[in-house]
Structure 1
Amino acid sequence: MSDPVPVVVGVDGSPSGRDALDWAVAEAATQVRPLWVVHACPPPIDTGPLGPLPSLSPYTGTGDVLHEAARRAALVAPEVEVTTRLVSGGPVPALLGQRACLIVVGGRGRRGVRRALAGSVSVAVSARAQCPVVTVPPLREVVPGPSRAKVVVGVDGLDLSSRAIGFALQAAAQRGVGLTALHAWTPRPPADSGGLADDWAASRAVECRALDGALAGWRERFPTVDITPKLACDDPAHALAVESAGAALVVVGSRGRGCMTGVLFGSVSQVLRHAAHCPIAVARPRAVTAGRARAA
């Protein structure tokens, strides 16, 4: 029997990294999986034939970061097997290079550039990872709201959200909570003001059928999870951000067309990284991740 695939978390010594670590070790305990704690640092600077100077070594202090992370993980869930890994290079390839069932990253760095880099890491990893990626916001900013004690999943009525629904249901089942399946849409304006009522009713009926179709079969696969379908006439990112207040986790799918596309044109997952009040999971369709693996 093969060893279980680990949960992987990136740490950098920042408060955001510690929040990600706390969430990741609790998730590893829930899934009964080992935890790999990854810390990336740039390669040594070659100063000439004598090699890098000790004072310029980028590895100074990295042992402290990993030691503190291992100690903290043991306090949160002592039953979890923890492995620390120091990787030379940038954080994105360091995390993508790990064998993982789930990758967890912090949502923000310490300040200024660190905050921007933390955001870019989560975007790049989410766009390229072959497994779901969870971005953990500062836990002190988590607030109560309409979806307390639930997992929320964004449903777009397409096959793109199928993996997100499955991941969200598994998360809800593990936590013993219900699932809110939210489908948001913006109706087209009617051709004339007299057709407003008819167009609204027809539009809502179409979206309701799309939501029911996306959830077909999932209740039988997860009979212990209370699934609540919810329609919202709203921008999807805004509707999910509102619903995230008090939720344990929000899960969204992604077309996976690359992080630059997401940065330039925006997406639901991009907006939620800044607006949501709870951890955000991005679960891309398997066809996309498989295609990227073959291309690599």
Structure 2
Amino acid sequence: MPRSRGTNGTDMNTELGIVVAGVSTIYGRAVVRWAAAEAHARHAELRLVTAQPAAAVPDRYLPNDVATAHRAAAVRLLADLAGEMATGWPGVIVTTDLATGPPAAVLRAAAEEADLLVVGADDASPFTEAISGSVPGDLLTTSPCPLAVVPRREWTASTALPASAPVVVALDESTISHAALAYGYAAAARTGRPLTVVRCVTAGSFDQAAATAQARLLIAFGELYPDVAVSTEVEPGDPRHVLVAASRRAALLVLGSRGRGRLASSLFGSVSRDLIRRSGCPVVIARTQPAPVALCS
């Protein structure tokens, strides 16, 4: 997807981070506003993307005014949101893209050069079909960048939350979750929020090697982010209940992923869809990235 000129006329040849937001007609503003706040905090471009699924009846067989009206409505929605976000978050460059194709595929392509992909959780639109319906793997396990899923309710960004609301990173005993910790620490540092690391422990799941690796990572990240206040909680029980409860007091919930094909573990993979639907805050699925040698030594 080529770079273009932003709504404020700024030339887009300058390299910026990119936050992609999937736009839909229902609950779209909640998703886009959260994405705009994130782009502002990151000093990144905000790219609004919507898809028109290929019609069962080709456009050439539809009355011209019907096909034109559908496209015009989508263009209007993108333009309205772009103007609102540019006004609400001065300095954020906002671009738009209207594509034809399956929504999950369109978003996945848009995310290829993005730092974050943002979609809605309980949206009655094709975008949410890809998250909580029949194609969850298309985005949850194959997004090429971190995926943020914003709750259905209106989410008015971090300014509406108490300063004590933490970024929560969820770990289990089967993975060192470097990606989740890296994302969580960076998010906490960026927003000035505390970080809470929640370790979910179920019967027979304890892995001493993973626990030791996690402890070493916490020490290493603490040295990289000395200003981030960190607390650790070990919670026995069903991760589904533990993490939903944690999300009710959090600004953000971060889960790890090993990359394309599966979530951080079979444990988190089995509950991820339920978490996304029930979470009290936005959920980020962080992608695996190579760990610096300093963090692994």
Please tell me the TM-score bracket, short chain as reference. Answer: 0.7 to 0.9
Summarize the Cα distance change of 1:141–1:37 in structure 2 as closer, same or farther, 3 Å threshold. closer
Match of 1:243, SS state, is helix
Tell me the secondary structure at the aligned position of residue 71 of structure 2: coil
Task: Decide whether the 8 Å contact of 1:35 with 1:82 is kept in 2.
Answer: yes
TM-fit CA distance, 1:273: 0.5
Write out aligned runs for 1:1-296 (5 A).
3-15=15-27, 17-43=28-54, 45-46=57-58, 52-57=62-67, 58-98=70-110, 99-110=113-124, 116=129, 119-120=132-133, 124-140=138-154, 148-159=164-175, 161-188=177-204, 209=212, 211-256=214-259, 258=261, 267-286=270-289
Any idea what SS the aligned residue of 1:286 has? coil
Distance in 2 between the 1:281 and 1:256 partners? 14
Separation in 2, partners of 1:215, 1:84: 39
User: 1:115-157 CA deviation, whole Å, 9 max, x = no partner?
Assistant: 6455346652121112100000024489x99995210001224
* Identity within the alignment, %: 31
More helix by share: 1
State the one-letter code of the partner of 2:47: W
Conserved? CA contact 2:20–2:46, under 8 Å: yes
Structure 1 position 159, deviation (Å): 4.5
- Between the aligned partners of 2:53 and 2:202, the Cα distance in structure 1 is 45
| Corresponding letter in the other structure for 1:286 | Q
Following superposition, the deviation at residue 65 of structure 1 comes to 1.3
User: RMSD between aligned alpha carbons?
Assistant: 3.4
State whether residues 152 and 249 of structure 1, in contact with CA within 8 Å, keep that contact through their aligned partners in structure 2. Answer: yes
Q: 1:104 to 1:86 in 2, by over 3 A?
A: same
1:292 counterpart residue number: none
Tell me the CA shift for residue 237 of structure 1: 2.5
The more displaced of 118-127 and 248-257 is 118-127
- Give the TM-score, by structure 2 length: 0.78
Contact 1:147 1:244 (8 Å CA) reproduced: no
Segments of 5+ residues of structure 1 without an aligned counterpart are 190-202, 288-296
Is residue 158–residue 214 contact of structure 1 (8 Å, CA) maintained in 2? no
Residues 154, 147 of structure 1: alpha-carbon distance in 2 compared, 3 angstrom cutoff: farther
CA contact (8 A) 1:157 1:214 kept: no
Distance in 2 (alpha carbons) for counterparts of 1:187 and 1:242: 20
Q: Which amino acid aligns with 1:178?
A: P
Shift, 1:90, TM fit: 1.5
Alignment partners' CA distance in 2, 1:160 and 1:284: 13
Equivalent residue pairs, number: 267
Report if aligned partners of 1:148, 1:245 keep a CA contact under 8 Å in 2: no
1:41–1:90: 8 Å Cα contact kept in structure 2? yes
SS at match of 2:141: helix
Corresponding letter in the other structure for 2:256 = G
Contact residue 131 and residue 140 of structure 2 kept, 8 A: no
Shift of 1:276: 1.0
Of residues 204-213 and 67-76 in structure 1, the stretch that sits farther from structure 2 once superposed is 204-213
In our comparison, the structure showing a higher alpha carbon Rg is 1
* Aligned residue identity for 1:53: P
Distance 2:214 2:198 in 1: 8
Q: Take 1:114 and 1:206, find their aligned partners in 2: how far apart are those partners?
A: 39
Residues in 1 aligned to 2:261 and 2:208: alpha-carbon distance in whole angstroms: 34
Shift of 1:235: 1.6
Deviates more, 1:210-219 or 1:272-281: 210-219
Segment of structure 1 superposing worse, 210-219 or 239-248: 210-219
Q: Which letter does structure 1 place at the counterpart of 2:142?
A: R
Structure 2: segments with no counterpart, 5+ residues: 1-12, 291-297
Contact 2:20/2:116, CA 8 A, preserved across alignment: yes
